[in-house]
Structure 1
């Protein structure tokens, strides 16, 4: 194969595909990116870790069509260090790839394209489109709650399902057992009858990176085992987590009768300040609620104590409750409005946090003993 590609075009595509490639691989070909030049003047780049696969097509001047695989991270580093505006000529022959750009020349070892594994998608019967902005919102407002505990592998992703509430909706949820995040959006056309799916954490991270460069809509196609996101020149395909997501609706409290309304920014800043002295082990911040006044405090055996008063709208009986400061900050960081509603029951019951009852996102946080 022989093709010439502009450096900026090659670098952008490589930055997308190389991040799917794991740094350590027992199977050598998984460290490589597949480059496939076609006669019509396009080069297809493809990378996989056997669970996740990305394909991106870029424009190029193709002299000789063909396909070869080269080490992904090495090629990316080379493209990164080449001078701006240069034309990169790729020539593959006899187990080597020659890269020429200006006065720079590199010769890389290659592996044959026939050995490169491709994820077989099979039938993807459910197809719908989601605006890129909606997909970004779904990811940003839920992914911080994805569990990293490998033993509960079915929580290692975002759960996507449709539901017939008052109107048909698409819901995305993530939980690690300590907190829950859920976003509800109108059900897109074509999503009716869709199977419940769990999108793995790595797929979510790669998808989010790609979405920054997408205007318009993303084409989503899925089956019970695979999902594919079409974003113009880039296509991301992933296996889904084979497991059953717990019935999270049971932990969303409905009878929490104590309501605190507060400015999320001043609350977030106050929690952040007092949490400065919290030790890694405890990370607990105590909230003492009185009429229109909340006292945030942290007691750390190693570091001492901290306290700060924050004003808020609270008219119920005084009581105290503790939360993990990091979890609370993660949730408050997602609140965009001027007020946040915190629905409390008692010091041991789950707490509901949301902007208001019309907001698409809703959060549940388990309290800590303090």
Structure 2
């Protein structure tokens, strides 16, 4: 095998695929990227057995071939090469090493047999639809912060993606929750997605997908089955196994009848929460909100660090309510508010609070209160 590729093209492709490779692997071949040179392209493939990323890059191929090489090492070399350099990759004769050269730089990297590289089995991905990359990026951004990291409740370790309907409008909905907060976002249901199964896409492929979406301006193609999901984004294809579990009935925990409504400017609110939370207890990060007569008071009382409070103007005309929240959760929600104003819907100090966005009616959040 012998090919020459521009450093920028190699770095971009490697940057996408190597991200899925774990730093520590008990199976050596999983530390490698599969390089397949054929025609006018070089195809790179990386996998952790659950997620696979394939990306093509234009290259001048002198001799077609297929080989594997250490993914992270190859990426670091490409990253440190000078801009504009032409990179040559080749395997010569019986030499079991991949030779990389660029300008006056020479590297010999250990290569493992391509036949040992695991290929993710294909299956019939019955549902297929396309939607703008920006729309899918928004669904991820609005919800991924609420994905649970608790491995015992594995069915919460991803984003629940499914077709839904609200007020007669059909939507593609993304939901994430960790039991303490919930995030929901939706967009118009794309053509072809009507019969898609409800799936749970794991956290890691969600992160990698979001990274890939940064370089895509056009539509992306999504294919779904009961066990797998595939995203085609320009020159890259990401395939992932789905979480085999049942997502909880999240509709039951979204309060629709909370009658105490507070509207507050998002930016000053987030800044005040951040300031007051400076002395909150590291474990609970609790902060107390007292809302009454157009006034919101944020307060923290930490026996070890002292006290803090800040008063803000709020649009509120109901009975006084005192309620506690995790400050980090408040900041996470505030960061997703697209409009200038956030609306909090309270019931009482012990019930879930619903938060909506003046700038995005297709997103909503639920926060469980803390005892303060």
TM over 0.5: yes
Aligned residue in 1 for 2:7: 7
SS in 2 for 1:88: strand
After superposition, residues 70-81 of structure 1 pair within 5 angstroms as 70-81=69-80
Q: Which runs of 5 or more residues in structure 2 are unaligned?
A: none
Aligned residue in 1 for 2:368: 366
CA distance in 2 between partners of 1:121 and 1:271 (Å): 48
Q: Per-residue displacement from partner, 1:25-73 (whole Å, max 9, x unpaired)?
A: 00000000000000x2110000000000000000001000000000000
Aligned residue in 2 for 1:43: 42
TM norm structure 1:
0.98
**1:223 counterpart (196, 204, 225):** 225
CA distance in 1 between partners of 2:228 and 2:283 (Å): 39
Aligned residue in 1 for 2:331: 329
Q: Per-residue displacement from partner, 1:144-186 (whole Å, max 9, x unpaired)?
A: 0000000000000000011233121111000000000000211
CA distance in 2 between partners of 1:167 and 1:359 (Å): 13
CA contact (8 A) 2:338 2:359 kept: no
CA distance in 1 between partners of 2:251 and 2:359 (Å): 16
CA distance in 1 between partners of 2:360 and 2:327 (Å): 26
Aligned residue in 1 for 2:123: 122
Aligned residue in 2 for 1:63: 62
CA RMSD of aligned residues (A): 1.0
Q: Per-residue displacement from partner, 1:285-336 (whole Å, max 9, x unpaired)?
A: 1001110001100011110000000101000001200000000100011001
After superposition, residues 1-370 of structure 1 pair within 5 angstroms as 1-38=1-38, 40-93=39-92, 94=94, 95-165=96-166, 166-356=168-358, 359-370=361-372
CA distance in 2 between partners of 1:364 and 1:193 (Å): 28
CA distance in 2 between partners of 1:257 and 1:167 (Å): 25
Q: Per-residue displacement from partner, 1:178-210 (whole Å, max 9, x unpaired)?
A: 000000211100001110000000000000001
CA distance in 2 between partners of 1:220 and 1:60 (Å): 27
Provide closer, same or farther for how the CA distance between residues 208 and 336 of structure 1 changes in structure 2, counting only shifts above 3 A: same
CA distance in 1 between partners of 2:133 and 2:176 (Å): 20
**TM-superposed deviation, 1:282:** 2.5
Q: Per-residue displacement from partner, 1:207-233 (whole Å, max 9, x unpaired)?
A: 000101001111000101000000110
Q: Per-residue displacement from partner, 1:80-125 (whole Å, max 9, x unpaired)?
A: 1112111111011331111111111111110111110011130001
SS in 2 for 1:205: helix
CA contact (8 A) 2:337 2:359 kept: no
Q: Which one is further off, 311-320 or 92-101?
A: 92-101
Provide closer, same or farther for how the CA distance between residues 265 and 275 of structure 1 changes in structure 2, counting only shifts above 3 A: same
CA distance in 1 between partners of 2:141 and 2:169 (Å): 24
TM norm structure 2:
0.98
CA distance in 2 between partners of 1:169 and 1:157 (Å): 19
CA distance in 1 between partners of 2:19 and 2:187 (Å): 29
Q: Which runs of 5 or more residues in structure 1 are unaligned?
A: none
CA contact (8 A) 2:338 2:358 kept: no
